[in-house]
A and B are shown apart, each in its own frame.
Chain A
């Protein structure tokens, strides 16, 4: 790609904004290793300085000017940028980053209207978009990631894109690039939430051997019993709420807002919900609550309390008491 003369980076997702800027810089440098990069914060950039930076460099390199936080530009700077945008110099690259909110919106609109190329860097607020980000990230790095592996990674790492990106890079560096659920779980096993979730997932699926294996592994790697017990209760709660809501009909997306859960979590629960009766869920929740009391200090052997709870939950599936 050839470098644009004028790029508007719109949105406040830092990682995406930084990447959009870096892409321009890389593109310019491929053609012109002498390219001169200058960066300004809009809040204290004077129109005179801007003009100076945008004029051809003394040493002949293509100027790349990055204006950060464009939404903070004062009136005269906004006017100067808008005027420049009407007739940008094709031998210069100007990148204006803008948070995309209401503040300084006039400047963003003016640049768009003047024909600036736009790179979207909005925060990913939807779960599905973040999962897509993860999968794209692996693709970008030359790997391949399954949908449920992306979900597992989100569960383990959280929603911060920078952390997700670095987790993807780490996994790519340490594996052959074919990322499935097993790989993610193996890699993040030490993390309490993931360990707890894998124990709970297997338990509510009625898979005792897998649940016990995940539990023993978690305890062996030093995971505290309390978050495991919490995850177990959460697993039962999720299945119970989804199973109950499903009796009223409706697909995962319709249920998502009613239950306040992401659709993927609902779909996952729906798959295991079929084996559960209401009575079984009551028994399972009681076991989870008892376990919570035991790991909080009521019991001498907290590992045993967890094992018993896992087996009670799994046994409650499909039956009752």
Chain B
């Protein structure tokens, strides 16, 4: 079979089947030969755990909708190519930079999505992280999803169909595409095939990333990401005293902050200089004072947005670290229960085995639960420092 845009979707045969059929049906609608009536819907909800490829799936589907070679998602025609590259005039991506997607942005995008497609196919609005819509933004979206214009398609992504993630009313209007955590073997296969990684590196990275394709790529290619992971995996051995727990908590949080700062620094600077350029910094003459006041306001807005993005980046970084840590305790538990699945952290196996011999399985389970409780606490807005400290102490005590 020839390559298509769906090849990036690892281990999701069912979802691919659904999306392929829908794209063909959509193409038939456009061609006026509506033979697959019913397969196409105007609103889709892609759900699945982090790294399962929600946005990859939405993007691939959007490309197939715009594919001028009969909607197969050939990956090579102008429709596919510009969609995947993010430059298709009729495809818009909403990627929240802060902790939530504001209503003003959503209204504007919904209005644009209602206009006629310039390339003659579909207007597509992709909302990555629809769980981060504010209530008002969700309402703005709901109105559009309830009465979609004939040529408009909404693709929403969320971790799950739970009401905490997506409102029941929106969910009820969407066709749901559940994605699963791809098996490590499938991710490894992709890394070898697409990225040309050596098989053993691919296997290690895919396992360590726990099915998260993007994370596996970073671990394989970025020395800093590997160093951060190693620091996290060293934590269990460091927890020898109460004081060490607090030191480990501080180190973990500092590392997450540093990682987040690295991730946003370049973008922050670029945005700021672009805005300053647009505002004509240093202007004089009539009206300059008034303009300067307005500029100060815009700069302040930008700073606010950047701060919110940094907060999100910090949370994401901390969450990744917690998942790495949870992986270690899960490996210990797995060893204690006779190794029914393959380990996550292949390189930390000796430590996990030593711990498995020393701890009681119940204590390992309590430790694993402490990490999950910490993630939930941070999600519920507990100060990360306090949540992580309490977790480290629980890990120490067992």
Contacts and interface: CB of A to CB of B under 8 A. Distances in A.
Do the two shown chains form a genuine complex with each other?
yes
A292 B386 contact: yes
Contact of B397 (A230, A279, A296, A297): A279
Interface stretch (A14-22, A111-119, A209-217, A240-248): A240-248
A281 B382 contact: no
A195 B209 CA distance: 45
A77 interface: no
A150 B199 CA distance: 66
A144 interface: no
Given A241-B246, A288-B386, A293 B380 contact: yes
A293 B394 contact: no
A240 B242 contact: yes
B286 interface: no
Interface string A261-290: 000000000000000001101100110110
A46 B397 CA distance: 72
Given A285-B389, A286-B393, A289-B387, A278 B242 contact: yes
A240 B243 CA distance: 7
Contact of B243 (A241, A282, A289): A241
B246 A240 contact: yes
A191 interface: no
A233 interface: yes
Contact of A237 (B246, B377, B397): B246
A244 B241 CA distance: 7
Contacts of A298: 380
Contacts of A293: 377, 380-382
Contacts of A240: 242-243, 246, 393
Nearest to B377: A293
A282 B242 CA distance: 8
A65 to B, nearest CB: 39
Interface in B344-398: 377, 380-383, 386-387, 389-390, 393-394, 396-397
Given A241-B243, A244-B241, 6 more contacts: A233-B389, A244-B246, A278-B241, A285-B390, A286-B393, A296-B382
Closest 8 A/B residue pairs (Cβ): A244-B243, A289-B390, A244-B242, A282-B393, A296-B381, A292-B382, A233-B386, A293-B382
18 contacts: A230-B386, A237-B246, A237-B389, A241-B243, A244-B241, A278-B241, A279-B397, A282-B242, A282-B394, A282-B397, A285-B390, A288-B386, A292-B382, A292-B383, A292-B386, A292-B387, A293-B381, A296-B382
